[in-house]
Structure 1
Amino acid sequence: MATTAVDAPAAPPATHMTSRQRLVLTLLLGSQFMLAVDFSILNVALPDIGKGLGFSLANLQWISTAMMLPSAGFTLLFGRLADLAGRRRMLLIGMGLLAAGSLVGGIATSPGMLLGARVAQGLASALATPAALSLLTTSLPEGPLRDKALGLNGTLISAGFTIGAIFGGILTDLLSWRWAFFINVPVAAAILLAAPAVIPESRGERTKLDIPGAIAVTGGLLTLVYGVTEAGQHGWSDPVALATIAAGVLLLGAFWLIELKAKAPLAPVRVLTRQTVKWGNFGGLITFTMESSVIFLLTLYLQEVFGYTPLQTGLAFCGIGVAAFAGGLAAPRLIGRFGNRTVLGAGLLLQAVATGALFLVGNGGGGSLALMLAASSAGAFGHISAIVGYMVTATSGLPDGEQGLATGLTSMTQQVGITMGIPVLSSIATARMNATGSTLDGIHTALLVDAAIVLAGSALAYTGLRRR
């Protein structure tokens, strides 16, 4: 008598990591945290660096931009290369370059030498960030464990920016700005030594690299970010800035056309047009662009209105760091209960409301400081929730062979957002300051614009994902 085969019920998703998975996660999160710290650790030390190496006041911004430009421009390309050449290999190359660049930066004796070190750090970030993130997503199955790991990743990224400001102030006041570079070297060396024995190599299918697409997208991102940075410094009517932005848009348009026809595209259009990839990264771009601007505006507020020192400013952000940590722990549980679409939309909504509340901050006094700390902490909680929501959304439903592309896109979103937000909002604040002669008026106007953009982004991301 014939018997009918019955499929066994699917095994429930794992809820606990193995000891090896924890060790892998520790190394990967450590690399992500260190790279995040590097983006902000020098900000409060810029005046000291300028005096020590002879930077003019107008050129100080290039200490930050020199790292941000290559990081934003090359992340997508290097993320795809990680799929092809090996993710662990790209992570190790990135860590080696970071150690070398940090050492050179710490012993720099001229502006050119320091800027070269910052470029190396930016390329290291573009190499290591998507590689580490794709190793994380391929090391854990899609579901609660991966969501938890992405929550910790988002927490450490945001905390890294905050802690970087604190470390920068402490190191500059107590030792020297050079230690902001030197501190990377032993950490990168530890990862270089431990990773080959702990993290297995991982790659996607072998295929040819789409050279025209790589040139178009890298050139487009570099010119677009450079143009926005120049516009933030020289004004949005500056012809060089406008021409550069236009060139960047044209190159990105050419990239899209190339990908439509390429036999082995760098970023297949079917992936780019997935609702989860498209709207997830849109939400990520909004939250990173606007939150980095809030931190900048609050720094300006504390130092120009309250008269805080760099160290006091960094310590004032401790509440933001605590709220970000709490948001990173809570977001995976919220995603498990309500879904990533809801968490992404609600996180952006909370960030918008909290940023709008900062408009009520006055010229000084304990009440203004308390309101600023409470609102900025609530915004940080929403920001981290949105980060975890967008990372889970934008990397879910894709095979392991495309995780380098997916994480390259999320990393690119992060880097572009961090780079572009401050020039845009600072130009708005500066224009208002020049019109009214009031620093506080400029900050208030920029904060209202920030809140309106995040509110619109929340509605668009939420409704866009609903159309899946």
Structure 2
Amino acid sequence: MSEIVTSPPPVPAAASKVSMAAGEFTTAQKVAMAVLLMANFTLAVDFSILNVALPRIGTELGFATSGLQWIVTSFALCAAGFTLFFGRVADLFGRKRLFMIGIVLLGLSSLAGGLATAPLPLIIARVGQGIATAMVTPAALSLMTTMFPEGPARSRALGLNGALMAAGFTTGAVLGGLLTGAVSWRWAFFINVIIAVAVAVVAPFVLREPAVGTRPKLDVPGAVTITLMLVALVFGIDNAGHAGWTHPGTWGPILAALILFAVFLKIEGRVAEPLVTPSLLKRRNIGWGNTAGLLAFGTFTSLVFLLTLYLQEILGYSAITAGLILGVLGVGTVLGGLIAPKVIGRTSAKTAIVSGLIVQAVATLPLAFAGDSRAWLIPVLILTFLGGVANLIAIVGYTVASTAGVPSDKQGLATGLVTMSQQVGIALGTPVMSALATGVVATTLLPGLQFAIGINAALALGTAILISLFLHLPKTRAMADA
């Protein structure tokens, strides 16, 4: 910890090592963690805070109905598309520096969004928020992983981060409805400004990172190619939710993404200093860990979407009431984030992923039989709470697994991959489940929702089986450079 906390005297340093072994934080670490968690929670809220407010925004600013999707899509494209690039930039040019730039950009773009009086300025503001998310999230996560060595303290830090980010996604839906109904949707932006200013004032004094040695060159061709690939992939997936999977605007970008990925692999095999070291991707804990994360996020965030439709369209609750009901799920995710480090400490990150996904599947499957009676509300509350706990245990497990054994100078890249799998999972899950719910079962909505929820449970179970078979964790806590 001497590279993180400024030169402590010998006795406190020894005490610090003991506390880290027990999973405890020093005072300096607690303050730094509070700053990083506040930033990541805010960014997670931004993924969903405007969803309920879209009709009101469209009316006030003159959006065409078909154009409202771009308020969400422009953010998701940039947040997912640039995250791997900025994860590597954090390694090369400084995580703290990138974190600060991202926070300032978040504050400025949020202020612009809150003051917007026409569609174009609002879309530009959302692009700024998306790029800020791609900067801050991997930088903050890599600051956490380099702040703590592998073990209980890191697991606890990642557990808290996972809990707050998952809770932030649910909180965004509730908060967006409350702000839109009670004050104005503009406060969904202005709150970010207040938080960004607070973080920007405190962060320079509490965040530390290891000294960087020789800086390798940035692989510009690889960075451009992978960024275009991710943007094309997320655009195609997002478009599927609006135009269907057979539309050229869906399969065209997805096909382009596959071609760009093949080009990216060829580039990485030829350049002297690749953006993604091939040996890093060959590690099973990274490849399979991120696969687990993508599907964990994809299944559960899409389940929130399906249950929102169920509560409003089938049971007849208002949008705000439905959001408050799903707040129980948010409580479950927070509890899961607190439990996860204990599960990992007593077993392993792999066990946490597998057991979490199995319990999630078991909690989700009964919802596939939910009927049109409000008597189903109590079972929905109980099952989503249990599913939220289990999902966060799996998510923290995949974060620990996907950063295990990675050297300090590549933690930004590793956490960039973690963030990318998270954001692509969020972008992928909802369109897929939406297509299953509305396009596969052709009669009424309820059978479609039941079918989609059943597939959702099967995906969680199938992922658990694959991870149990193919994920292998590093045997040692420190591995040689990739």
Q: Normalising by structure 1, what TM-score?
A: 0.95
C-alpha contact 2:234 2:424 (8 A) present in aligned 1? yes
Give the distance between the partners of 2:366 and 2:71, measured in 1 at CA. Answer: 32
- Aligned residue pairs total 455
In the other structure, the counterpart of 1:6 is: none
Matched, 1:337 2:341: no
Provide the residue aligned with 2:13 in structure 1. Answer: none
Structure 1: 4+ residue segments shifted above 4 A: 201-205
Pair 1:440-2:446 in alignment: yes
The residue type equivalent to 1:87 in the other structure is: R
Q: Residues 40-439 of structure 1: matches in 2 within 5 Å?
A: 40-202=48-210, 204-205=212-213, 206-366=215-375, 368-432=376-440, 435-436=442-443, 438-439=444-445
Deviations 1:346-386 (A, max 9, x none): 111111222211112110222x1111111111111111011
The DSSP-based 3-state class of the residue aligned with 2:373 is coil
Are the aligned partners of 1:204 and 1:400 in contact in 2 as well (CA < 8 Å)? no
Q: Is 2:21 the partner of 1:14?
A: yes
Shift of the alpha carbon at 1:202?
4.4
Structure 1's unaligned 5+ residue stretches are: 1-10
* In 2: Cα distance, 1:20 partner to 1:68 partner: 33
Aligned-partner residue type, residue 365 of structure 2: G
Alignment-derived partner of residue 3 in structure 2: none
Deviation at 1:200, TM superposition (A): 1.9
Distance (whole Å) between structure 1 residues aligned to residue 473 and residue 337 of structure 2: 27
Secondary structure of the equivalent of 2:217?
Answer: coil
C-alpha change, 1:203 and 1:402, in structure 2 (3 Å) is farther
Greater CA drift, 412-421 or 150-159:
412-421
Q: What is the CA distance between 1:204 and its match in structure 2?
A: 4.6
Partner of 2:9: none
Unaligned runs of 5+ in 2: 1-16, 475-482
**In structure 1, C-alpha distance between the alignment counterparts of 2:391 and 2:299, rounded to whole Å:** 9
Residue by residue over 1:168-209, the C-alpha shift from the partner in whole angstroms, topping out at 9 and shown as x without a partner, is 111111001111111100100111111111112446540000
CA gap 1:449/1:52 in 2 versus in 1, 3 angstroms: same
Structure 1 residues 224, 187: CA separation in 2 closer, same or farther (over 3 Å shift)? same
Across the aligned residues of Structure 1 and Structure 2, the Cα RMSD in angstroms comes to: 1.4
Q: Which residue of the partner structure matches residue 463 of structure 1?
A: 469
> How many percent of aligned residue pairs carry the same amino acid?
48
Shift of 1:232: 2.4
Check if 1:449 corresponds to 2:455. Answer: yes
Query: CA 1:464–1:418 in 2, change beyond 3 Å: closer, same or farther?
Result: same
Output the CA distance in 1 between the equivalents of 2:62 and 2:318: 22
Quickly say closer, same or farther: Cα 1:374–1:79, change in 2 above 3 A: same
Q: Deviations over 1:142-162 (max 9, x none)?
A: 100000000000000111011
* Aligned mates of 2:209, 2:343 — CA distance in 1: 32
Which letter does structure 2 place at the counterpart of 1:14? A
Q: 1:466 Cα deviation (Å)?
A: 4.5
Q: TM-score, normalised by structure 2?
A: 0.92
Distance in 2, Cα, partners of 1:103 & 1:221? 27
